[in-house]
A = this chain, B = another copy of it.
Amino acid sequence: MTIHHQPSKERIDAVRAFNRFYTRQIGLLDEGWLKSAFSLTEARVLYELAHRDGLTATDLARDLGLDPGYLSRLLKKFEERGLVERTATEADARRSSITMTPAGRTAFAPLNQGSHDQVAALLDRLPALDQDRLVKAMLTVQRLLDETAEPEVPYMLRPLQVGDIGWITHRQGLLYALEYGWDETYEALVAEILGAFVKSFDPKWERSWIAEREGEVVGSVFVVRKSDAVAKLRLLYVEPSARGLGIGKRLVDECVSFARARGYKTLTLWTNDILVSARRIYEASGFKLADEERHHAFGKDLVGQNWNLEL
């Protein structure tokens, strides 16, 4: 379930301001090309050709947003200068696959190095922490705007790292506030649970799984020991942006396998009835509803539920 409403004026203005800013930024970076024999567009074409072999003119025109006629002439010029070669594909004689010649690579190398150095100089002005923030922020912008760019690996699971419990607390706090109107006491509960989890962590009997997608945390779950026989699944969550990839199910499956492997007899969990999508996952994994009770928490009237799975 995602919340969806009209983008606000402030948000739109902020994005427009960024576009203006980055238009200028790219203009500044362009000036580097001026010294070289190539224009920005030529450099973009050469970059693509240097990194992806066997492209066709159509591919290039689509990916770089160029006019086919213009591109055709660019490529002709490159071919005459011996920078690229065009060979008709056997499957389709209209198309030709374009490859960079060794001479092309030689011509491109200083260009590439120049761009590399320019960016390196830009980054070098910033302290390392800020460099990381910059790169992370750029990745975020790119991922959010580029709908086509699905990562090759949809997600991966890893154990807890420094920074995770705060991040998870932050995201869960915000998410449930936005989606269900819960107040800050929910976030506080998450903080306490996770603080205690790390503090009294028993690696033999307890475990955490963090789902990561392109370096970003998109879900998590924890198993804690209640007694020799009973383990508890806690704080299952999946980012709205990563829903529908089966991450929730996978996280619960990991918990079940772990609990079974460690010889627990029961895996239990507490949730609230309004968390419908989580509930579906629990049911699918074989959990049975043990009991329900009304309670007031997180600024709302809720129905808490205990679910059990006999292992």
- Summarize A's interface: helix, strand, loop or mixed: helix
B198 touches A187 (CB 8 A): yes
User: Which B residues touch A187, using CB under 8 A?
Assistant: 162-163, 165-166, 198
Copies of this protein in the complex: 2
Does chain B have a CB within 8 A of A64?
yes
Q: How distant is A15 from chain B, measured CB to nearest CB, in Å?
A: 5
Q: How distant is A147 from chain B, measured CB to nearest CB, in Å?
A: 7
**Which of A4-12, A76-84, A92-100, A279-287 lines the interface with chain B?**
A4-12
User: Which B residues touch A194, using CB under 8 A?
Assistant: 188, 191
B192 touches A7 (CB 8 A): no
Alpha-carbon distance between A170 and B167 when the two chains are bound, in angstroms? 5
A241 touches B140 (CB 8 A): no
Interface size grouping (class) on chain A: 35 or more
User: Which B residues touch A18, using CB under 8 A?
Assistant: 138-139, 141-142
A contact set with B: CB distance below 8 Å: 2-7, 11-12, 14-29, 40, 44, 47, 63-65, 115-116, 119-120, 122-142, 144-147, 160-163, 165-175, 177-178, 183-185, 187-199, 240-241
Extra 11 A-B pairs, beta carbons < 8 Å, given A11-B123, A169-B169: A3-B129, A15-B135, A17-B142, A19-B26, A133-B140, A161-B184, A162-B173, A166-B172, A169-B170, A191-B192, A191-B198
